[in-house]
Structure 1
Amino acid sequence: MFKKYSLSFIFILGIFICMLDTTVMNVALPAISATTNTNLNTLSWALNAYTIIFASFTIPLTRIAEIYGKKKFFFLGALLFGTGSLISGFSFTFIILLIGRIIQSFGAAILFPLSMSMGIELIEGKTRTNTIAILGITQGLASAMGPTVGGMITQYLTWHWIFFINVPLAVIIIFLGIPTLRKTTIIQSTVQSIDFFGSLLGITMLASFTSVLIEGRQWGWTSAPTIALILVALISLIVFILIESKIQEPMISLDLFKNRNFLASAIVIILSNLFLVAVTVLLPNYFVNIENYSTLNASYMITPITFCIFIMSPLSGFLLEKIGPRWLVLIGFLLMGIGYELYANFNALNNVAMSSISGAFVGMGYGIITGPITVIAAADFKGDQLSSSQSVASVLRQVGISMAVAIFVSGLYTNLASAQRKAINYSNQEIVSLHLPHNVIDSMKKQSIESIKAKKYKSKTNESPTHIKAIDEQINEKIDLIKKNSKKEFTLAFSNLYKSALPFMVFGTFSIFIFPRKKEKLYR
């Protein structure tokens, strides 16, 4: 019994630290920027390198681990992750931070998929389904908790500690895992060779694709680098499929996607993570920049999401055997859709109570989906195919996260630029309507534009520009109107994103028709 719980604990811990670091750094970027004297665009590469390498190297490194020993590579992954975290924590320059994050990401590319596949393989009996569900739940919880944990640590300690906290956790994984795994038998892989060409194509394809998703907005979606990388990704994908369909020991068995449970699960994994991260990444940004919350208080607004994931996930595991995956996925996307509808149309963004309710619906929906979908994705496989399925599922989660950043952050910048133009036009019209002297009008326009660009529109106006009471009252009324309109426009820049996403939420529910109708017991 102790051995079973120890195994579960180290695998859960391995998944937790890998997924936490996909989002924990986001809210700390301004503090890191000040310490390292690096602009945010450059600094974002320390964030993006983790996602790109994690996604690109998961499958080939998992295959190497299958051939040369999962146990040894599991500990190697934990060691690399801990070492990278230590280097990142001690860094005071961008280059050192980047090196640390790269080492971290290689560790995560090994530790995460092995935690999943070994956790599923080694936990036997009736508890297996529950264990698989918990492993899936941990992924969603960790990535959703990232902004809150990052905000709290940055506020009360320093940003360095968002990396330092990983070190003792990696040490626990190693020292608890060594005696536990030593007595455990791992099923020997039947694969005896590494598909180097397939690995190279896979790495090229995923690195190109994730790079475009993350950096496309900065480069421009029609720029030469973006188009070139899209072509590289497409060509690599086509050649990869042609080669993998004929080779004897492929890097990825394409038969995985012939399995209806896995195919449907793959779609749901991408979309559910996309819709979750679209909220957990953008919401703190809104509360910091539009509502002028502190980073810590903004990160607290994510708490209802994580709480509801934690509450609903165990319930969904129970319901999986009762009603099957179709209904669970349908209910999950419907609940997330309700959350998005509230964000879009019911002033949830500028009302703490409504924002918490909206986040709760998103968390409930994701919580209902994430545990069962992990069980279903693994249910029909054993041995090498099981490991392969978890490697692919890991990559798909990172793709979903990257797509959320690409689609929603790009959309946000476009919407904010439009909101700023509308706010400035409205401001100019209102100021001109006062019929004041030209020098006063020009001065007010300039101050108003600066205020709108800086998003400083919440404070009350007590100035007396002309020292003539009647005129000053008119001016202050106009300024208050301009402030209210500016905030409304910037709020709409965020809420319209969620409104635009609702049709795609509906599309996600169509995946239920791919799941087989027959309800089968999973891992019982």
Structure 2
Amino acid sequence: MDHKSNISSFPILLLMCLGIFICLLDTTIMNIALPAIQKDLNTTLETSSWMLNTYTMTIAVLSIPMGRLAEIYGKMKFFIIGLIIFAGGSALCGFSESGDMLIFARFCQSIGAAILVPVATIIGIESLPLNKRHISLSLLGATQGLSTALGPSIGGLIAQNLGWSWVFFVNIPICMVTLVIAFIILPFKKDIRVQAKLDWAGLILSAIGIFSLNLVLIKGNAWGWTSFVSLLCFLIFVITLITFIIVEKNSQNPMVNLNLFKDRLYVGATLAVSTGYLFLVGVMVLLPQFLTNFQEKTELQAALLITPISVTIFIVVNFVGFLVKKIGYVIPIIIGYLAVATSYFQLAHLNTSSTVSEIIVIGITLGVGFSFIISPATMASVSSFEGEMLTASQSVFTMLRQIGVVLAVAIFVSSITHEVESKKQNVISYAKEQTQDINVSPEKRLEIIENTKVRISSESTFGKVIEQPKVSVSERQDLIDKNVENSLSHYPSAAQEKVKKQITDQVTKQVDQEILIINRELKNYTDNVISYTRDEFSSIFSTVFSHALPYIFISILISIFYRKNKKLKINRIKEGTDLGE
């Protein structure tokens, strides 16, 4: 039956979009500023990775319980609480003086985000009546995609002009303005609450399970996917998932109503949001790496070159929302995955000579594809639900979106790591072949190869920098001394002193000519190995993107879930209604 919103207001929808924007912006805003943070706080690579991952992981773990708590104690009240926590966490981040402090601050910040994202989504959806819900869903979907895609560009601009601390400080005035507006326009008296007890068993099980899954996805590449710790995390996830399902089925106040997954549209929406963000974030992680390492772009230039993705999302996603209302979900979803596949095909042919215009076209194509996936997914995720089911649906939807982000980093970084190891061996084999053309001793040849191995093994350079080996001053003098000694041995002892200077001059001239030839050979060796290394390592990105193509085409099958089906008749739970009734 039709449901009239209790908080019908377009300004409220825009306010919720702003709350979501600043939270999801911070999932990627640190990426470009990270090198400056590492240098300033003198942190290790391990610590730096946790600065990024703590935020995403906490949102994934806490979005479901926070959504449920907001439902019990009041969504609008929780929106205010989330803003305050997020602003406080942002301030702590900006004032951090060590890596550990920044990780703790990011955790505090992410608690606020874990409240804001699901709660703001629900309030935003309910802010317009059912006959205008497609507008709220389109705007919310556009905000979610745009904020994630804009993060690197905004972070790069702020870090370069104001310093990395302002990447976090910029959130504070936005939160304060949002807070003031919220107190003015939010109808707190109309905030519907659910009279129910908190499902502590479900909360603990969901938190443990999602934490274990996220942890192994983040650390699995470093630990090894088949290591004891990784397998233990997977086992914990499976056990807690099975236990969670059993507990929720028998609970009168479930953390997540499992009837959600009886709705085919909702299942399709969750699959689409996970894969959509997986394919989007995969590009946003790898493409800047390619641009900085192989096209000599600065971090900021690389961030700006992927901005067309976010601009396209902002423009296209609202159009797709209206299109879905006219023609349904299936065709837009198929178009979306085909467009993403096209962008990945273009990425698979990316090379060191690719132009800026080619990269922009790739970004636009990906943005179009993502828009055609995420807009139907967002709309389908709420199409069958009201009240408590709507809140639960968006909490799970938020969690699965974050898992899609974590999956993207895990899968694409793991793929890059695997390909890098293979390419390193290719480069070393090539280097060994090239040393055969250098007229030096076997010992010197071995030294050249070992030095090349050291440079190639540097994970921070992608094998980009290889120092040119040279004949040193001491080696030159040793050659001169040995040749002089050898030449003098052919003279009687009495005559050696007389001819020593003459022989030394002749030998020095001869050795210098030989060194000139050797250095020329060494330069050719270095140039050849550098060129081969660049070609090999740059092809890694093409290989990874091409390997992803079959999975994008398989994802088109998700459109099957979007066929017309009888919607679940789930009435809105009125204030004071017990879930068990």
What band does the TM-score fall into relative to the shorter chain? Answer: over 0.9
Show the counterpart of 1:503.
550
Show the counterpart of 1:514.
561
1:74 shift after superposition: 0.8
Q: Across the two proteins, how many residue pairs are aligned to each other?
A: 518
Ranges in structure 1 where 5+ consecutive residues have no aligned partner:
none
Show the counterpart of 1:113.
118
Change (3 A) 1:43 1:488: same
| Inter-partner Cα distance in structure 1 for 2:444 and 2:513 | 13
1:77 shift after superposition: 0.4
Match of 2:168 among 146, 163, 169: 163
Ranges in structure 2 where 5+ consecutive residues have no aligned partner:
1-6, 473-511, 568-581
1:3 shift after superposition: 8.1
Show the counterpart of 2:127.
122
Q: Provide, for residues 472-495 of structure 1, a one-character-per-residue CA deviation record: whole Å limited to 9, x for no partner.
A: 555444432222210111111221
Query: In structure 1, what residue type is equivalent to 2:340?
Result: M
| Inter-partner Cα distance in structure 1 for 2:167 and 2:154 | 8
Show the counterpart of 1:399.
403
| Inter-partner Cα distance in structure 2 for 1:237 and 1:162 | 37
| Inter-partner Cα distance in structure 2 for 1:425 and 1:406 | 29
| Inter-partner Cα distance in structure 1 for 2:561 and 2:209 | 26
Q: Provide, for residues 169-222 of structure 1, a one-character-per-residue CA deviation record: whole Å limited to 9, x for no partner.
A: 111221100110136623343x51111101111111111111111111122212
Show the counterpart of 2:186.
181
Please tell me whether the aligned partners of residues 348 and 355 of structure 1 are also in contact (alpha carbons under 8 angstroms). no
Please tell me whether the aligned partners of residues 348 and 358 of structure 1 are also in contact (alpha carbons under 8 angstroms). no
| Inter-partner Cα distance in structure 2 for 1:182 and 1:407 | 44
| Inter-partner Cα distance in structure 2 for 1:303 and 1:511 | 28
| Inter-partner Cα distance in structure 1 for 2:513 and 2:291 | 36
Q: Provide, for residues 111-132 of structure 1, a one-character-per-residue CA deviation record: whole Å limited to 9, x for no partner.
A: 1101001111122264431121
Show the counterpart of 1:82.
87
| Inter-partner Cα distance in structure 2 for 1:326 and 1:3 | 30
| Inter-partner Cα distance in structure 1 for 2:102 and 2:518 | 56
| 1:514 alignment partner, SS class | helix
Which segment is superposed worse, 433-442 or 233-242? 433-442
Aligned pairs (5 A) from 1:277-426: 277-347=281-351, 350-426=354-430
Instruction: Find out whether 1:266 has 2:313 as its counterpart.
Output: no
Runs of 4+ in 1 over 4 A off after TM superposition: 455-475
| Inter-partner Cα distance in structure 1 for 2:248 and 2:115 | 22
Change (3 A) 1:351 1:6: same
1:519 shift after superposition: 11
Instruction: Find out whether 1:490 has 2:555 as its counterpart.
Output: no
| Inter-partner Cα distance in structure 2 for 1:446 and 1:351 | 36
Change (3 A) 1:348 1:485: closer
Change (3 A) 1:79 1:457: closer
| 2:9 alignment partner, SS class | helix
Please tell me the root mean square deviation across aligned C-alpha atoms, in Å.
2.5
| Inter-partner Cα distance in structure 1 for 2:289 and 2:84 | 33
Instruction: Find out whether 1:97 has 2:102 as its counterpart.
Output: yes
Please tell me whether the aligned partners of residues 74 and 192 of structure 2 are also in contact (alpha carbons under 8 angstroms). no
**TM-score using structure 2 length:** 0.84
Please tell me whether the aligned partners of residues 315 and 368 of structure 1 are also in contact (alpha carbons under 8 angstroms). no
| Inter-partner Cα distance in structure 2 for 1:307 and 1:433 | 52
1:99 shift after superposition: 1.9
| Inter-partner Cα distance in structure 2 for 1:334 and 1:349 | 26
1:451 shift after superposition: 4.4
| 2:336 alignment partner, SS class | helix
Change (3 A) 1:455 1:383: closer
| Inter-partner Cα distance in structure 1 for 2:82 and 2:462 | 44
| 2:28 alignment partner, SS class | coil
1:263 shift after superposition: 0.6
1:31 shift after superposition: 1.4
Instruction: Find out whether 1:428 has 2:475 as its counterpart.
Output: no
1:52 shift after superposition: 1.5
Show the counterpart of 2:142.
137
Please tell me whether the aligned partners of residues 349 and 491 of structure 1 are also in contact (alpha carbons under 8 angstroms). no
| Inter-partner Cα distance in structure 1 for 2:304 and 2:545 | 20
Show the counterpart of 1:45.
50
Which segment is superposed worse, 68-77 or 469-478? 469-478
Query: In structure 2, what residue type is equivalent to 1:496?
Result: T
| Inter-partner Cα distance in structure 1 for 2:353 and 2:85 | 40
Change (3 A) 1:359 1:461: farther
1:444 shift after superposition: 3.9
Query: In structure 2, what residue type is equivalent to 1:164?
Result: F
Query: In structure 2, what residue type is equivalent to 1:359?
Result: G
Please tell me whether the aligned partners of residues 122 and 186 of structure 1 are also in contact (alpha carbons under 8 angstroms). no
Q: Provide, for residues 345-396 of structure 1, a one-character-per-residue CA deviation record: whole Å limited to 9, x for no partner.
A: 3538854332222222111100222223211111111111111111010001
Please tell me whether the aligned partners of residues 321 and 519 of structure 1 are also in contact (alpha carbons under 8 angstroms). no
| Inter-partner Cα distance in structure 2 for 1:485 and 1:351 | 21
| Inter-partner Cα distance in structure 2 for 1:249 and 1:287 | 51
| Inter-partner Cα distance in structure 2 for 1:159 and 1:230 | 36
| Inter-partner Cα distance in structure 2 for 1:297 and 1:124 | 43
Show the counterpart of 2:240.
236
Change (3 A) 1:401 1:348: farther
Please tell me whether the aligned partners of residues 141 and 317 of structure 2 are also in contact (alpha carbons under 8 angstroms). no
| Inter-partner Cα distance in structure 1 for 2:188 and 2:564 | 41
Please tell me whether the aligned partners of residues 316 and 369 of structure 1 are also in contact (alpha carbons under 8 angstroms). no
| 2:190 alignment partner, SS class | coil
| Inter-partner Cα distance in structure 2 for 1:401 and 1:512 | 21
| Inter-partner Cα distance in structure 1 for 2:565 and 2:253 | 32
Query: In structure 2, what residue type is equivalent to 1:370?
Result: I
| Inter-partner Cα distance in structure 2 for 1:285 and 1:384 | 43
Please tell me whether the aligned partners of residues 309 and 368 of structure 1 are also in contact (alpha carbons under 8 angstroms). no
